[in-house]
Amino acid sequence: MTDGYRQQPGKGSDVRVDGKRVAGKLRFNPPGSGGSRPEMKERDLDFIPELEGGNEAQPAGSHLHDKYRTGTTVGKRTPLVDANAKVTGQAWYGDDVRLPNEIIGRILRSPHHYAKVISIDTSKAEALPGVLAVSTGEDAPQKFGVLPVTKDEHAMAVEKVRHVGDLVACVAAVDEATAREAVSLIKVEYEILDAIHDPKKGLLDVDEPIHWRGKYHIGSTNVQKRVFQEFGDRSKLDQSSATHHGKWKFMGVNHGFTEPHAVVAHWDSNGRLQLYTPQQVPHYAHRALATVLDVPMHQVNVIRTYVGGGFGGKSDPFPHEMCAAILARKAGRPVRITFDREEVFWVNRGRHPSHIEVEMYADDDGRISGFEIDALIDGGGFASFGHVTSYYNGVLATAPYELGSFHYTGARVWTNKPASGAMRGHGAVNTRCAIEVGLDDMADQLQVDPIDLRLANLLPPHSKTITGFRITSNGMRQALNRVREGSGWDEKFRKMPLGKGIGMGCGFFISGSGLPIHWDPNNFPHATVHIQIDMDGGVTVHTGAADIGQGSNTAVAQVVAEVLALPIEMIHVRSHESDTSPVDLGSYSSRVTFMNANAAISAALEIREELLNSASNILEIPVEKLILNDRRIYSKRNPSEGVSYLEALHKSQEDKGALIASGAYRTPPMGGVHKGAAAGLAPAYSFSAYVAEVEVDVETGLIKCTDVWAAHDCGKALNPLAVEGQIIGSCHMGLGQVLSEQMVYGRTGHLQNPNLLDYKIPSVHEMPNVTPIIIESCDPEGPFGAKEAGEGPLLPILPAVVNAVYDAIGIRVNDLPLTPDKIWSAITKKMKLEGIDDPQNLPPPRLDFSELQEKLAARSSEHNDRDVRRQRAEDTEPYINGVLFGFDPNTPPEEQDGDWKISVKPTSEQLDNLRLAGSAWSKIEQRKMEDGK
Amino acid sequence: MLTPPFELHIPSTLDEACSMAAMLVESGEEFDWIAGGTDLLPNYKWHINTKPHVISLANVSGLDNISTNEIGCMARLHDLAEGGNCHPLVALAAGKVASSLIRRNATLGGNLCLDTRCFWFNQTEEWRSSIDWCHKCDCNTGSDCRVIPNQNELCVATYQGDIAPTLMVLGATAHLIGPNGIRKVAMDEFYQLDGMTRNILEKGEFLLKVTLPSGVEDWIGSYQKLRVRESWDFPEAGVAAAWKKGDRSTLRVATTALESIPRMHNEEVAKSDGNIALLSDEIFRSVKPVNNTSLPPRYRRNMVKVLVKRACEE
Amino acid sequence: MVGEEHVSMLPQAPTKIWKAEVNGRQNEILAPSNAILLDVLRDKVGTLGVKRGCDMGTCGCCTVMIDGVPRLSCLTMAFEVQDSKITTVEGLSEGAHLAPIQQCFAEHGGSQCGFCTPGFLIVSQALLNENKSPTDQEVSCAIEGNLCRCTGYQQIIESIQAAAAINRGDVEPAKPASEAHSNPHPSGPN
């Protein structure tokens, strides 16, 4: 045992030979101890994996991190570590930052869709008493943008304004009234240009494209990005037994976070910029600020405030952040800019309005022989994340099903609207809806149950998709089975009376993006976490991961607490400032739990090793025979033979002071080599299956979603409370898109509903009863097996509702949102067509199984055994997309089949047969024109 | 968001309020009344028809009484809906207005005098500048109507109050008070086209209270509201029907949210002679919604048929 | 282009003294005649827990209790509620102790990003003051004016019901998963 803590240094007994105590060598509790919980708790075996001697079942097999489980917090319903700040009103969001001497900034915005800025006269504004700074685009000529390849934004208009609400100038004044008045005094002369609102027109050559990309510009169109992909053998598609053709229109939707954007900029006494902003991705804002303000990054400190909801809408570097910094520099005082709700809609970055066409094929064995997808997405005035969105609309449809072929053409065009960008389920949501509805239709044609059709066509765990994505864990099958059971599917599907319906849909999403957006410096990690423990035993975790309410601080605290076997209250996460936080790429693409928690685990493991070594040293017991549990390290055989955490810690700190460790995460090398192969690559993927029940009022067309069974495979729920919150919240957001939310651009192209009354986010009354079902497939590379749960759960709700509406009234409407007028129109049309005079007499769809049904059931049962073996690593043979069609899993299909294609560019024959978005390929890039081609 | 500057006057008695109004009228100063503020304040924040003076009725005592036969203008919709003291049909409609939170502020008077709405109009000053202004509120600009282009004579903004049609079918009377004393009009005569005029209130007047005829407790009926969300949303169409218990020949029907004023449909009721299918067709033919709310006018018009049928169900 | 129609923001309205008790503390503040309660609370009183989400009554983030009634502060004229008792989210807890409603929102996932939470807490507290055992339907009606974009409301309703149960004395407040005051130098088993 340790000698304990004494008043004086030195070893030896505190009792003299004659039995008297030595005054100067009294034992006392170690400094830093104290508190009302002086006893160790017993190990919580319910949260220790069974293969490690606990009671937690492991149906999906063991995990690399199992041996670091201490039963402390992982898997337990854990309140957010910052919840108390939120329920007491102490959480400080963007507009809550109040610095001494602050002044108020306002932005002058364009009243025109598209115009050249001829002149700006700011003299009257500058002369208004109380105005301290005025700025225009001239002050910030540097371009920026979230993606390095498509920097096309300015702090304020340089040359042109590109949509109503685009930034033109800004002012800072002593108060809001003066600032608002000053803005109205700025006179701008515009030359109005021909605006484009319809994305289809964006495909055409025009005199004045919204942006000009020089030699890379595609013709003189407004096409910002085009994608062509062809994989597999499409030659036999015309022999299919079922085909589905769906032409879809999706309206744009906005994130609708409750906190409007707000920013405070302050140049401190050393001339460094302190910028307070509710950012999901502070690091990219950091980079852009340095560029635009022309200062080195080390002279900028980005302070992430609490974020009142992000959902992708606070992940671009924003022009108003630049404006605040410019105004503050000019005025020499802190400047706060807070948006009105309308301005939130003008900066937008919501989901792209889209025209999507899908053609889908199934053969007589009920195998999916082809997906053909064409997506024209409306990017609005700027590129934002659009380069990536253009790929995601296709490639994220390549799983969870095994495909005979895959063909995707996509184009993103600029229009004179607020920019679209990344929103929860980035790029995957709309196409997913279209193909899941297509599968429902094909199941109808084949006369089989749509769940069985899916179960018989799933890619197994540890396989490769047709475009080369590496799938690791895969809980799709369990998810489907659980929702089928939970919802009573077999008793309800195609059996309910008119007006009541049940439908299902699946989802597939990335858990972190395989490639970071910024590749410099090379081999830089995606996430880094620092842990620091001083003598008091409190664990300070520094991370740059942005907690936007999803609970990333909590997840990091949990994994550190778990590894070190400390109560979560001893873990203090510091994630607000770029000065103290290691670089993290931010909260997007559902990467935070996967990457940041992995980095945190690797840092915590370093600390754990030090503590174990010290304990081993003191106890003279080898490290392998020690156990960590609730603030103590002790012998496996005899729990009373041990040291406290603090004793071990202090031993480790001898001669060096605070323990400091750094952990990082980088994705493993993976993916194919074709152009665009990196888009959609992720170290893991989430899977989900939902069943929704709806009631449709056949007279009014109003849809009410009553129940949802929502199964999501998140690998391992580090915090089931948070995972369920994400699932239910995703249902709410997805329901909004499928039933009521839309950004309405009227006949003049103006956004008609930039407020929360007319932009219809579902209220509590529209919310169905959601039963969240967590599937744990234990991802081999995820932290304790975890994968994402923040975005994937949104995908299936859309098609589930659309399919349920079909089950209820036998009508498919391919135009979201399904507002009552559209449903009513469709009902009226059908009644006319079929000579029905009362909507109550509409025939609801019914199903008689064909022979194929049994065949599919048999195949899925076979596949079930296959998947269990693969999941538990009993079968480690490679599996590539195509095995279902008879290919050898060890040889790439292109080497086995002469007609197998991998192509990222249309051939000259294909050029004549392109669909809507694909027609962007009929234009020639400027540089090729110069070559004379 | 700030409103443009105005001076708020808060009288504590009815006399004080009236003399304040008279004084402002006399001195030629423009002003608005404010009751709950849920309609006026968003408009003011967006610089819509703001005035330099606003007289608040919040602290005038005695205006919030609620009984079956009389409701004061400052009765909060929450109290109408939940209090159990007014006619059930009025309570039903009041309970369907906006959200439970709005109903805590909103008043009967405010709801009856609700400004007409239009998505070209209910926008910020900045927004309206982008469409070259709206002739309902930016009158000095001489701009055209955006709903029916090439004219600036008529305003077709839509009246989207929920309670007015129920009061109409119950035969209520509006009591208006102003510099010239009190006058009474039948509820259905209170409203007056067009979307800018809205009602017959004269300068300095406000709606003091609503009375319902004796025997109204024997009347039953329904109010049907078409909306996408069961909270927040204004009616996209609304139909109220009432009849004396046991006597369908007394049926009265009124509609709202389809035109610039709510309207009784006595003629259509008379024509259809108790045939509800016929009645819904007649009313469908008589209303002409325009495209200035969330849902398309063709749909709203067609829904009138369904709503009439449902409202008249016994 | 037709004429311009800008309503001038200046000069600002005349100021007056605004008096009210906010969270038990008497305030006397100079505010313009046309001041809206939300602006006064955030900018003058300093109760920044009152949030501005939509500024037109459609999100409920700015809800405060005025003489016990939940009201939208963005649609309330400050001078109309002179001399009233106002409770904001900052006034819900009893000293350092969270009120049950606050504790339950934290523990049952009723708060994610937290921006709408102050409004929900005020509305819920007002409901529970009036109705000790609300049904789920009654809870839904009470919170129908509050917008939450994160939770999908379900865990909010659970939080409110859990708080109601604690208030009624049906259940003991749940012990936090992690207790404060952990001694980093604990004793082991004997």
CATH number of A447-515+674-866: 3.30.365.10
Interface of C with A in 102-161 (CB under 8 A): 102-103, 105-109, 111-118, 121, 140, 143-144, 146-155, 157
**Is C69 domain-assigned?**
yes
Mean pLDDT across A78-88: 97
Min CA distance, C188 vs chain B (Å)? 54
pLDDT at C111: 98
- Residue C116 and residue C66 in one domain: no
pLDDT at C189: 87
Residue A400, both tokens: 């969870």
**Is C186 domain-assigned?**
no
pLDDT in tens, A408-455: 999 999 999 999 999 999 999 999 999 999 999 999 999 999 999 999
CB contact, 8 Å: B98 with chain C?
Answer: yes
**Is C64 domain-assigned?**
yes
Question: Which domains, and CATH codes, for chain B?
Answer: 1-56 (3.30.43.10), 70-118+156-314 (3.30.390.50)
- Residue C85 and residue C118 in one domain: no
Interface of C with A in 58-87 (CB under 8 A): 58-59, 61
ipTM rounded to 2 decimals:
0.97
Nearest-CB residue to A177 (from B2, B228, B233): B2
Asked if residue A195 lies in contact with residue A357, where contact means CB atoms within 8 angstroms, the answer is no
The DSSP symbol for A378 reads E
Mean pLDDT across B219-244: 98
Q: Where in chain A is the domain with CATH 3.30.365.10?
A: 447-515+674-866, 519-665
Residue B189, both tokens: 């005569």
Interface of A with C in 534-573 (CB under 8 A): 536-537, 548-551, 566-570
Minimal Cα distance from A771: which residue of C?
Answer: C154
pLDDT in tens, B227-236: 999 999 999 9
- Residue C83 and residue C20 in one domain: yes
- Indicate which CATH number applies to the domain containing C108: 1.10.150.120
* Average pLDDT per block of 10 residues along chain C, 190 residues long: 76 97 97 98 98 97 98 98 98 90 97 98 98 98 98 98 97 73 88
CB contact, 8 Å: A276 with chain C?
Answer: no
Residue corresponding to tokens 């003598």? A535
With contact defined as 3+ CB pairs under 8 Å, the chains touching A are B, C
Min CA distance, B114 vs chain A (Å)? 16
**Is C58 domain-assigned?**
yes
pLDDT band at A290 (very low <50, low <70, confident <90, very high): very high
Q: What is the DSSP string of chain C?
A: ----------SPPPEEEEEEEETTEEEEEEEETT-BHHHIIIIII--TTS--SSSSSSS-TTEEEETTEEEEGGGSBGGGGTT-EEE-GGGSSBTTBPPHHHHHHHHTT--SS-SSHHHHHHHHHHHHHH-SS--HHHHHHHTTT---SSS-SHHHHHHHHHHHHHHHTSSPPPPPSS-S-EEEEEE---
pLDDT in tens, B264-288: 999 999 999 999 999 999 999 999 9
pLDDT at A778: 97
The DSSP symbol for A418 reads S
Residues in chain B: 314
**Is C145 domain-assigned?**
yes
pLDDT in tens, A664-698: 999 999 988 999 999 999 999 999 999 999 999 99
pLDDT band at B7 (very low <50, low <70, confident <90, very high): very high
pTM exceeding the 0.95 threshold for the entire prediction: yes
Residue C58, both tokens: 């459609």
One-letter amino acid at B152 equals N
Q: Helices A476-487 and A852-871 sit at what angle, rounded to 10 degrees?
A: 130
One-letter amino acid at A155 equals A
Q: What 3-state class would DSSP assign to B197?
A: coil
Residue A12 has pLDDT above 60, yes or no: no
One-letter amino acid at A794 equals L
With contact defined as 3+ CB pairs under 8 Å, the chains touching C are A, B
- Residue C81 and residue C28 in one domain: yes
CA-based end-to-end distance of chain C: 88
With beta carbons under 8 A apart, name residues in chain B contacting A699: 306
Minimal Cα distance from C53: which residue of B?
Answer: B1
pLDDT in tens, A195-245: 999 999 999 999 999 999 999 999 999 999 999 999 999 998 999 999 999
- Residue C122 and residue C73 in one domain: no
Q: Are C33 and B2 an interchain contact pair (Cβ–Cβ within 8 Å)?
A: no
Q: Which helix (H) or strand (E) holds A861?
A: helix A852-871
CATH number of A519-665: 3.30.365.10
pLDDT in tens, A618-644: 999 999 999 999 999 999 999 999 999
pLDDT in tens, A555-607: 999 999 999 999 999 999 999 999 999 999 999 999 999 999 999 999 999 99
With beta carbons under 8 A apart, name residues in chain B contacting C10: 5
Q: What 3-state class would DSSP assign to B126?
A: helix
Q: Are C13 and B7 an interchain contact pair (Cβ–Cβ within 8 Å)?
A: yes
Min CA distance, A765 vs chain C (Å)? 7
With beta carbons under 8 A apart, name residues in chain C contacting B98: 57, 145
pLDDT at A519: 66
Q: What is the mean pLDDT of chain A?
A: 95
- Residue C28 and residue C68 in one domain: yes
Own/partner contacts of C25-33, CB < 8 Å, gap of 24 or more, are C31/C78, C31/C79, C32/B5, C33/B6, C33/B7, C33/B8, C33/C79
pLDDT band at A35 (very low <50, low <70, confident <90, very high): confident
pLDDT at C190: 74
- Residue C72 and residue C122 in one domain: no
Minimal Cα distance from C120: which residue of A?
Answer: A87
**Is C176 domain-assigned?**
no
Mean pLDDT across A458-475: 97
- Residue C27 and residue C72 in one domain: yes
Nearest-CB residue to A728 (from C51, C121, C151): C151
pLDDT in tens, A154-175: 999 999 999 999 999 999 999 9
Minimal Cα distance from B117: which residue of A?
Answer: A758
Nearest-CB residue to A88 (from C58, C102, C176): C102
Farthest CA pair distance, chain B: 56
Min CA distance, B179 vs chain C (Å)? 24
The DSSP symbol for A103 reads E
Can you give the residue range of the structural domain that contains C73? 15-91
- Indicate which CATH number applies to the domain containing C51: 3.10.20.30
- Residue C61 and residue C125 in one domain: no
pLDDT in tens, A889-907: 999 999 999 999 999 999 9
Q: Are A820 and B299 an interchain contact pair (Cβ–Cβ within 8 Å)?
A: yes
- Residue C77 and residue C130 in one domain: no
**How many domains does chain C fold into?**
2
Residue A866 has pLDDT above 60, yes or no: yes
pLDDT at A667: 93
pLDDT at B140: 77
Q: What is the mean pLDDT of chain B?
A: 96
% residues pLDDT > 70 (chain B): 100
pLDDT band at B306 (very low <50, low <70, confident <90, very high): very high
Minimal Cα distance from C120: which residue of B?
Answer: B101
pLDDT band at A309 (very low <50, low <70, confident <90, very high): very high
Nearest-angstrom CA–CA distance, C27 and B272: 63
Residue A33 has pLDDT above 70, yes or no: yes
Q: Which of A330, A417, A342 is nearest to A381 (CA)?
A: A417
pLDDT in tens, A126-150: 999 999 999 999 999 999 999 999 9
Nearest-angstrom CA–CA distance, A921 and A911: 7
